[in-house]
Amino acid sequence: MRNLISIFILVLFSTQLWSQDTSTIENDSTKYPYTFPIWGQEVKDRGIDFPLPAGISVHYVFNEMYLGISDFGMGINGTDLSPIINEQTLGFQTTRAYSNGINLRGDLFTLPFLNFYGLFSYVEGGTEVVLQPDFGMGQMPLFRSNVIFEGISFGGGMTFNYGYKDYFFSADVNYSGTRTDLLKNDVNVVVSSLRVGKTFKLKKKDRFVNFYVGAMYRNFVSKGINSGSIQIKDALPGLDDHYQTWYNQLNPVQQKLLDRTIDGINEEYNLDIGEGGVMNARVDYHIKKELIKKWTFQFGGQFQLSKKIWIRGEYGVSDYSKFIMTGINYRFGI
């Protein structure tokens, strides 16, 4: 059984993920000094080099995604206004979500070809929304707003690695949840990716650079509706000025229609959402959103300064999304 396992490792990992040439590695039979990865001694006995098993990394991550809104409703101070204010009457045009985050990651090669990791991130970002309302008498001018948020993300994943000579392949999947004050429920996302690339060895020992291309898939895990509650003055600072500018662009007929709609809401629901009081109102809302484009094309590279220090950068792009990541990884034995 032991020989069978050894043969499997040898065939699967004739070179390691970042493809060091085995002809340049000393084939010694000294004892492998670490607990991980499992089967590390067998791989070492065959002169195959692989990374130090554990790592801690810090990354900066930028995300941009365009969303489609398929369901929306809202209420003010506990009163449901969804029959009047919904995704059809508001006329969502474009919804752009973006975030900047610092990502902390700990990882461990449990097997020479399998890496498990955990993630924790602090994110800041916003959602830019463009509306073109239509309350029954034709479309009104575009209205723009920007909701700022901050939150924390946490999750985990695993990466499968395979190398052959100077070429490598990896497949990754992870799951994460983001928690913000704007939503009652976490926003859960699954990300999977495939990458293939080539390693270029440099003159100094243990130093090389690799470049790769690939594809990444992202999607919301929950297909249900997210809900939240927030004061308008917190979600949309400066709304009064934006609204007045937009209102002044309306023609007299549109202004009368909007005034009549607001007066009707006030009368039917016993509210005061006219000038002044609306900024202090608490808005309860629900929303169902989907990514317009779930796949992005990825390319990037990694520079191994030494066995302990890696530097990485990656860029992903599609028609409706963008992804940028850069960071440093410190590796050690365990």
Same domain, 167 and 271: yes
User: 16 lies in which domain range?
Assistant: 2-45
Same domain, 161 and 32: no
| Residue 229 domain flag | yes
Q: Please name the residues in contact with 14: beta carbons below 8 A apart, sequence gap of 6 or more.
A: 22, 48, 163, 164, 165
Q: What percent of the chain has pLDDT over 70?
A: 82
| Residue 103 domain flag | no
Same domain, 263 and 132: yes
Same domain, 80 and 146: yes
Same domain, 33 and 86: no
The per-residue pLDDT for range 268-315, each reduced to its tens digit, is: 666 665 554 555 667 788 888 889 999 999 999 999 999 999 999 999
Residue 13: per-residue pLDDT: 34
Would the pLDDT of 260 be above 60? Answer: yes
| Residue 27 domain flag | yes
Q: Please name the residues in contact with 17: beta carbons below 8 A apart, sequence gap of 6 or more.
A: 50, 51, 113, 161, 162, 163, 168, 170
Residue 79: per-residue pLDDT: 78
Q: What is the mean pLDDT of the chain?
A: 83
| Residue 60 domain flag | no
Same domain, 149 and 16: no
Q: Which residue has the tokens 């440099």?
A: 202
Question: In this predicted model, which residue has the larger pLDDT, 146 or 153?
Answer: 153
Question: In this predicted model, which residue has the larger pLDDT, 240 or 150?
Answer: 150
Would the pLDDT of 94 be above 50? Answer: yes
Q: What's the whole-model pTM score?
A: 0.79
Hey, what amino acid is at 131?
L
Question: In this predicted model, which residue has the larger pLDDT, 15 or 245?
Answer: 245
Same domain, 34 and 132: no
Same domain, 41 and 74: no
Average pLDDT over residues 159-172: 94
Residue 277: per-residue pLDDT: 52
Question: In this predicted model, which residue has the larger pLDDT, 12 or 310?
Answer: 310
Same domain, 29 and 154: no
Same domain, 80 and 35: no
| Residue 198 domain flag | yes
Would the pLDDT of 233 be above 90? Answer: no
Per-residue pLDDT band for 12 (boundaries 50, 70, 90) equals very low
| Residue 321 domain flag | no
Per-residue pLDDT band for 78 (boundaries 50, 70, 90) equals confident
Would the pLDDT of 4 be above 60? Answer: no
Please report how many Cα atoms fall inside a 13 Å half-sphere around the Cα of residue 224, on the Cβ side. 8
Q: Is 272 helix (H, G, I), strand (E, B) or coil?
A: coil
Per-residue pLDDT band for 8 (boundaries 50, 70, 90) equals very low
Instruction: Give the count of domains, the chain.
Output: 2
Residue 237: per-residue pLDDT: 56
Residue 15: per-residue pLDDT: 33
Per-residue pLDDT band for 81 (boundaries 50, 70, 90) equals confident
Same domain, 195 and 258: yes
CB burial string 215-226: b at 16+ within 10 A, e below: ebebebeeeeeb
| Residue 149 domain flag | yes
Same domain, 190 and 82: yes
